[in-house]
Amino acid sequence: MKKSCSRKILVIGLVFLFLGASATLGSANLAWSDNFDSYANDQYLEDGSPGDGGWQGWGIPIDPTAGAYVRDDQYHSAPYSVEIATTTDLVHLYTGYTAGVWEYKLWQFIPTDFTLDTYFILLSDYDGSGAAPGCVWTVQLGFHGATGLIESQLVGPSMPFVRNAWKKISCIIDLDTDWLQIYYDGTLLAEHAWTDTVQGTGTGGTLKLVAVDLFSDTGSIVYYDDISLDVPTTDLEVFCGGPYYGDVGEDITFTGSATGGTPPYTFEWDFGDGNTATEQNPTHNYTAAGTYDVCLTVTDNDGQNGTCCTTAIITGTQEPVIEIGTITGGLFKVKAVVKNTGTGAATNVSWSIDLAGGIILLGKATPGTIPTLAAGGTATITSKMIVGFGKTVITVTAGTATKSQNATVLLIFIKTP
């Protein structure tokens, strides 16, 4: 037992030697990432050990009650993500990030029923104390369930966060020029000097990144996945917004964007209902309720493609309502007005004009179809030539509507009251 422990220590020591040597070769060698897929489901990450991926509960000594569970309830990469629950204050420490340009990137899932507050935090100093100068917060994004807004400290509440979808948070950290840019779902949320910290402009920040903190300050559960710290990517990345919500027939504006690759970009949307668009931010409406898969494919100037898919959730009971208006006679013919008093378009409305009673020599029955009848629209239907004698009853049907009208036929003239 003792022997195997010392062998482990020897291996760890060699790994550190290798890391120490490679760190001087170039910043890319420092790249770190965690997709949470190598752990066991429901594994608890709290003690900072290699088996916990270095994740630990906030505090010196480490607070094991502030750890987090690996879950398969949601994931950006299958099968797992990390669950940040009410008591979570999960920290990962980093060393060597003291110069160069870095991207801290992670994917976040905020459930529809999320309440209260949860935070994504980066620190330039960390001693577990929970106070400056031992701990200095450089990025602090608060996701506030009450307002639905993201608050970037130093900047204040700004854009809404998105529920029920995986969204990328990206921090571009330039430790050479002392600049920080924070992006949410491809949109610039805030930018300021890295050393302008949450404690205030020009107070306490140092040109290094030493820790991330995933902190739920009473907030309900959120998830993170595919967290990385690496040189900024230049790969083409596509953002398609969503999920989108709307009623049948309601115009929805879809928002697309792209980063990386070689601009300019071309955009092609597939709305999942057979319709497409080539604008960056098109407007579209759906004719039936349901959940549609919406995909945006972006092609850059080098012909490189990227795709982003989301959903459009369409609700509503917008249906056509067919009614029959005035029935009128005249020379040879009966006319009737068919109205759509509903909120949705009608298609292929079957109709008929039938005469019963009297002696009808010609035109006893006329069937037909109205191909489309828009909401609020009217159409006039006309019978075939009618010739006959005597009192009759005209019955008009259209869709499920029926209306009858007494009339008198005098050879070629149909008299209605």
193 is written with which tokens?
A: 């000097």
Q: Which CB atom, from 32 or from 44, has the smaller least distance to Ca ion? A: 44
Q: Which CB atom, from 80 or from 351, has the smaller least distance to Ca ion? A: 80
Q: Which CB atom, from 90 or from 407, has the smaller least distance to Ca ion? A: 90
Least Å from the CB of residue 89 to Ca ion = 15
Question: Would you tell me which residues interact with Ca ion (CB under 5 A)?
Answer: 35-37, 44, 52, 75, 77, 80, 225
Least Å from the CB of residue 229 to Ca ion = 16
Q: Which CB atom, from 37 or from 250, has the smaller least distance to Ca ion? A: 37
Q: Which CB atom, from 46 or from 117, has the smaller least distance to Ca ion? A: 46
Least Å from the CB of residue 31 to Ca ion = 17
Q: Which CB atom, from 32 or from 179, has the smaller least distance to Ca ion? A: 32
Least Å from the CB of residue 77 to Ca ion = 4
Least Å from the CB of residue 76 to Ca ion = 6
Least Å from the CB of residue 191 to Ca ion = 29
Q: Which CB atom, from 62 or from 101, has the smaller least distance to Ca ion? A: 62
Least Å from the CB of residue 231 to Ca ion = 22
3-state secondary structure the chain: CHHHHHHHHHHHHHHHHHHHHHCCCCHHHHCEEECCCCCCCCCEECECCHHHCCCEECCCCCCHHHCEEEECCCCCCCCCEEEECCCCEEEEECCCCCCCEEEEEEEEEECCCCCCEEEEEEEEECCCCCCCCCCEEEEEEEEECCCCEEEECCCEEEEECCECCEEEEEEEEECCCCEEEEEECCEEEEEECCCCECCECCCCCCCCCCEEEEEEEECCCEEEEEEEEECCCCCCEEECCCCEEEECCCCEECCCEEECCCCCCEEEEECCCCCEECCCCCEECCCCCEEEEEEEEEECCCCCEEEEEEEEEEECCCCCCEEEEEEECEECCCEEEEEECCCCCEEEEEEEEEEECCEEEECCEEEEEEEEECCCCEEEEECCCCEEEEEEEEEEEECCEEEEEEEEEEECEEECC
Least Å from the CB of residue 55 to Ca ion = 8
Q: Which CB atom, from 66 or from 173, has the smaller least distance to Ca ion? A: 66
